[in-house]
């Protein structure tokens, strides 16, 4: 058997090395310390030298770089708007999309149980992997190199930013709609909860204190039901204005 990891053939070892070389080309950074790349790609289920510390570091660098980019790109935006835009860019779903663009999932090393469970396809695992890679780049080459990689990965997303208002949830938009008209805040209450503990279904009511108007919403949790009710109330109010 060729030199490599125990239980891995020489062909498998060569293929993995080639895949990692191609990955480095995709992210635009070739590691001086290949061990950092290996650690960044190792899930905690695969052994003690896993990527959680690198993930922590990468998360911090990512948040700062995106915050700075948004600050420079949107000189008139409020703190709240900048926070919403940043949250949309660094959330799990966005990071998982970046992982897919980089074909990261196939490179992750997981323990047998997690591998058989298909965990490499989970959004959270892919998102953590992206953050770990960024942390590894920081350790390998410093802040400037990490910033350049992040800005390259986010170039299209930064150029095609949605409006900050479109990122506000329904409860926030409803409250702002009412406040702009000097009206009282809406009130929410859970009307009913049904279903098994692991699959509960909530019905929530949104009521306007000044008029008594009320609508109900539903969802797989209290927050989702309240958001659904707020969305329906907002649609009703905006419909009355047209």
Catalytic residues: 59, 131
- Which residue do the tokens 């993930």 mark? 55
Distance in angstroms between the alpha carbons of the first and the last residue of the chain: 75
* Local structure of 88: helix, strand or coil: helix
Instruction: Report DSSP letters for 184-215, one per residue.
Output: PPEEEEEEEEES-GGG-EEEEEEEETTT--EE
Instruction: Could you list the residues known to form a binding site, using ranges.
Output: 55, 128, 131
Pick from 184, 180, 155: nearest CA to 165: 180
**Separation of alpha carbons 197 and 226, rounded Å:** 19
**Separation of alpha carbons 183 and 114, rounded Å:** 52
**Separation of alpha carbons 131 and 110, rounded Å:** 16
Pick from 16, 43, 48, 58: nearest CA to 126: 43
Adjacency order of strands within the sheet including 214-219: 186-194, 201-208, 214-219
SS3 string, 114-182, reads HHHCCHHHCHHHHHHHHHHHHHHHHHHHCHHHHHHHHHHHCHHHHHCCCCCHHHCCHHHHHHHHHHCCC
């Amino acid at each position: 058997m060729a030199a490599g990891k125990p239980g891995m053939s020489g062909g498998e070892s060569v293929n993995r090395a080639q895949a990692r070389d191609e990955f480095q080309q995709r992210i635009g950074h070739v590691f001086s310390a290949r061990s950092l790349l290996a650690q960044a790609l190792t899930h905690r289920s695969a052994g003690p030298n896993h990527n959680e510390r690198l993930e922590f570091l990468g998360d911090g660098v990512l948040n700062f770089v995106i915050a700075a980019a948004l600050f420079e790109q949107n000189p008139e935006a409020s703190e709240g708007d900048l926070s919403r835009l940043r949250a949309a860019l660094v959330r799990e779903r966005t990071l998982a999309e970046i992982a897919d663009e980089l074909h990261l999932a196939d490179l992750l090393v997981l323990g047998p149980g997690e591998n058989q469970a298909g965990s490499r396809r989970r959004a959270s695992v892919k998102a953590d992997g992206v953050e770990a890679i960024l942390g590894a780049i920081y350790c390998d080459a410093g802040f400037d190199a990490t910033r350049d990689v992040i800005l390259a990965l986010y170039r299209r997303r930064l150029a095609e930013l949605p409006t900050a208002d479109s990122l506000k949830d329904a409860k926030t938009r409803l409250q702002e709609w009412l406040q702009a008209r000097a009206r009282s805040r809406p009130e929410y209450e859970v009307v009913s909860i049904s279903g098994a503990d692991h699959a509960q279904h909530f019905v929530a009511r949104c009521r306007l204190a000044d008029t008594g108007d009320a609508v109900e919403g539903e969802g797989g949790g209290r927050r989702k039901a309240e958001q659904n009710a707020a969305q329906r109330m907002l649609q009703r109010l905006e419909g009355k204005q047209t």
